Structure 1
Amino acid sequence: MGTDPTSGAPEDERPRSLSRRVVLQCGGAVCMQAWLLPMAGCGTSTAPAAQQSAALRGPERATPLARFLTDAERATLRGLVDRLIPSDLTPGAAVAEAENAIDAFLAAFLTDPPLIYAGGPFSDRAGASDNDFERFIPLDAYEQLAWRLVLEGSQALPEREFNGPVKGLQQIYREGLARLDARAQQLATGILPAALGDIVAAQLADTGLEAVLAQINALAGNEGFADLPAPLRDLILFDSSDATVQALVDVAFPDTLAGTYGPPEYGGNRDLVGWTLTDFDGDVQPRGYSDDAVVNADNPGAFDGLLPPSYGRDAVSASATAKSDAPQTGVAEAVTLPLVIAPSESLAAIILDAGGSLAALKRRLEPWANAPSDAIWTWSADHA
């Protein structure tokens, strides 16, 4: 097994170069779990078109969302997703109600069909009369076993322990959420992480140790995790010595991304806030795209000059240069800012290779975080 000469990472962990087209095609896959991808257009079949369409549409009624967590657990989960994708200049996971999507996923087998694969081919957001995404697809026996193993674990059942015992997501979430509330109670009674100073210095750069201690001293003593100020919730989440919390974060992070940016039929992305803040069109069929949108490049936006060259930055810069050559009145001169940015294609490959595990993502990013300067792309972006 060789190594990447620029990063020192083993060949099986080094980032693969991806074209812009591949990155755009798999961009949804970076954020979405398989359970968030509608089945329309996936795979091939020799069945007649009418039969395929009927199979994709699923039952004639919409699949309801069920609940697995208690009200208290959902409140704790909301406090968690709020820190994984916080609201600052843009809405975060709590605004998108990502916790609803996670809860519905945990309760997938409490609905019929299970809430795993949304139907197709169209929603009603782009001209279709009905929302096919609301009618989920029945699972075959193999799929049922596989997804029950993921969600419910092996539960000492012989038919599920062919590869040994498996802890399901339901148990990981239930144990992890309880641990978050227990840690909140510990903070309120003065039991602090041994690495408190290190966590504040390394992870809470905008909050000093004195400020953290002041927030802890202000607690009444009966707060749950969701009741804590954001820096105190972060203090618990960044404590790497707590294996139960870290196991929860490891699965909750990709699930929160999925609940924030996935199709709303899975329970999150309320009012399409996840798509709006990322400028994602969402599903556009059967309306489709105009000829102009397919053939011509997008109009450069305010920050498009910050993109790497493979994302069409040269065209953006040319457009910006043309604008700067035109007569201007009362407009500030264009300035050049030096930027140091990791290759976006490489980052996309790293995220994909992590397979939805936050711990694996951290391991793959570590060589790049410590990489020499020649392993990072540096360029200047012209913008007005």
Structure 2
Amino acid sequence: MGTDPESGAPGDETPRSLSRRVVLQCGGVVCLQAWLLPMAGCGTSTAPAAASGSALRGPEKATPFARFLTASERATLRALVDRLIPADLTPGAAVAEAENAIDAFLAAFLTDPPLIYAGGPFSDRAGAADNDFERFIPLDAYEALAWRLVIEGSQGLPEREFNGPIKGLQQIYREGLARLDVRAQQLATGILPAALGDIVAAQLADIGLDTVLAQVDALAGNEGFADLPAPLRDLILFDPSDATVQALVDVAFPDTLAGTYGPPEYGGNRDLVGWTLADFDGDVQPRGYSDDAVVNADQPGPFDSLLPPSYGRGAEGTAATARAGASHTGVADVVTLPLVVAPSESLAAIILDAGGSLTALKRCLAPWTTPPADAIWTWSADHA
């Protein structure tokens, strides 16, 4: 399990920075799907029992959720996810209750079976009598050890430290959430980020330095992170000098994406708000798709201009789609959207190399997202 929070002194980890727009920079929905699957535990279990259809359904009763975080820690986490996917990207992670999915994941091994792999084959959202997704699949010994290392860490146990000590997500969250509250209290005493001007200029330019300082002056001194106005929470989250906070953001951002847009059986995506926002039908089996849904094209959306010609009706269809996308977003005339698309094998390798770290993912994708100024933008494909 996680350790007690430290006093709040910054650690010695490499400082890292936050970007809310990393999903678009990483190549859009395809990369998002590939990135979320391991974070949400939505993979296929390799347990021997999973070979039979009945085993895929899990136990007879739904697997209950457990909690790892305290009520105060959950309030701080809710305030954090609210800034990682804010309400201006309606409806936002707080409305989707992504913090509950994260807490359930941290407490995965406090239930039996662990809350890692949802069962199958169907939920009850498309005609099935029962929701099989609520019954999670038991893990084999190898899977259990691997996931305990991720969630709980090695904890000094010899059987877990065959590759050296590992800090688990429970400890990262507990230390990081405590640090957020410490930083909130420090703001009222005048302890501001050394890079205050740069943070405001880069991330809070629409608010302005005077407004930020006025909000700091209005603090009583007993506020926690959850009590701060949104700009002051951003001020803490965007401070690259606080390694403890940045270590938390590094894991919390992909976990927040999973909690917002993943299946609700993992604890988030309340009332399917994440899927509604993305205009995603969700799981449609056993009913399946209607003939109309299969045959007729969707209405153009704001990102259709990013698709290659093979997704439209030739070059003419793609141009029309791009124009429709520009009109949909309110952008007049021509929209120029430079885009690099890596072959799927390369993209998969990049995601694996990132090892679950947001910072590492952005670093791995840098050659694709920041090409030379004179680069020629082309589409690439895996096969003819």
| Aligned-partner residue type, residue 32 of structure 1 | L
Alpha-carbon shift at residue 35 of structure 1 (Å) = 3.9
> 314, 334, 338: which one pairs with 1:337?
334
| Aligned-partner residue type, residue 339 of structure 2 | A
> 307, 329, 347: which one pairs with 1:349?
347
| Aligned positions of 1:165-204 closer than 5 A | 165-204=165-204
User: Does 2:34 correspond to 1:29?
Assistant: yes
CA RMSD of the aligned region, Å? 3.1
User: Does 2:274 correspond to 1:277?
Assistant: no
Query: Cα distance 1:54–1:308, how it changes in 2: closer, same or farther (>3 A)?
Result: closer
| Aligned-partner residue type, residue 275 of structure 1 | W
Query: Cα distance 1:58–1:217, how it changes in 2: closer, same or farther (>3 A)?
Result: same
- Does the CA-based 8 Å contact 1:307-1:313 persist in structure 2? no
| Aligned-partner residue type, residue 302 of structure 2 | F
Q: Which moved more, 1:359-368 or 1:343-352?
A: 343-352
| Aligned-partner residue type, residue 347 of structure 2 | A
- Secondary structure of the 1:32 match is helix
Alpha-carbon shift at residue 148 of structure 1 (Å) = 1.1
CA distance in 2, matches of 1:103, 1:149: 17
Query: Cα distance 1:254–1:89, how it changes in 2: closer, same or farther (>3 A)?
Result: closer
CA distance in 2, matches of 1:69, 1:131: 27
CA distance in 1, matches of 2:103, 2:144: 18
Alignment-derived partner of residue 297 in structure 2: 298
CA distance in 1, matches of 2:351, 2:273: 24
Alpha-carbon shift at residue 315 of structure 1 (Å) = 5.2
Query: Cα distance 1:312–1:173, how it changes in 2: closer, same or farther (>3 A)?
Result: same
CA distance in 2, matches of 1:346, 1:82: 33
- Secondary structure of the 1:338 match is coil
- Does the CA-based 8 Å contact 2:39-2:254 persist in structure 1? no
Alignment-derived partner of residue 68 in structure 2: 68
Q: Which moved more, 1:351-360 or 1:173-182?
A: 351-360
| Aligned-partner residue type, residue 253 of structure 1 | F
Query: Cα distance 1:378–1:226, how it changes in 2: closer, same or farther (>3 A)?
Result: farther
- Secondary structure of the 2:273 match is helix
Query: Cα distance 1:206–1:311, how it changes in 2: closer, same or farther (>3 A)?
Result: farther
Query: Cα distance 1:337–1:321, how it changes in 2: closer, same or farther (>3 A)?
Result: closer
CA distance in 1, matches of 2:111, 2:213: 46
- Does the CA-based 8 Å contact 2:200-2:208 persist in structure 1? yes
| Aligned positions of 1:21-170 closer than 5 A | 28-37=33-42, 39=44, 52-170=52-170
CA distance in 2, matches of 1:130, 1:225: 41
- Secondary structure of the 1:362 match is helix
Alignment-derived partner of residue 263 in structure 1: 263
CA distance in 2, matches of 1:305, 1:63: 39
- Does the CA-based 8 Å contact 2:306-2:339 persist in structure 1? no
Query: Cα distance 1:229–1:315, how it changes in 2: closer, same or farther (>3 A)?
Result: farther
Alignment-derived partner of residue 213 in structure 1: 213
- Secondary structure of the 2:334 match is strand
CA distance in 2, matches of 1:82, 1:349: 29
- Does the CA-based 8 Å contact 2:114-2:139 persist in structure 1? yes
CA distance in 2, matches of 1:315, 1:93: 38
Q: 1:87-118: CA deviations, max 9, x gaps?
A: 11511111100000000000001111111111
- Secondary structure of the 2:336 match is strand
Percent identity, aligned pairs only, is 73
User: Does 2:313 correspond to 1:308?
Assistant: no
CA distance in 2, matches of 1:355, 1:90: 29
Query: Cα distance 1:257–1:310, how it changes in 2: closer, same or farther (>3 A)?
Result: farther
| Aligned-partner residue type, residue 317 of structure 2 | A
TM-score norm. by structure 2 comes to: 0.80
- Does the CA-based 8 Å contact 2:260-2:269 persist in structure 1? yes
Rg comparison, structure with higher value: 1
| Aligned-partner residue type, residue 338 of structure 1 | V
Q: Which moved more, 1:307-316 or 1:216-225?
A: 307-316
CA distance in 1, matches of 2:143, 2:216: 47
Alpha-carbon shift at residue 166 of structure 1 (Å) = 0.6
CA distance in 2, matches of 1:311, 1:274: 28
Query: Cα distance 1:27–1:134, how it changes in 2: closer, same or farther (>3 A)?
Result: same
- Does the CA-based 8 Å contact 1:100-1:267 persist in structure 2? yes
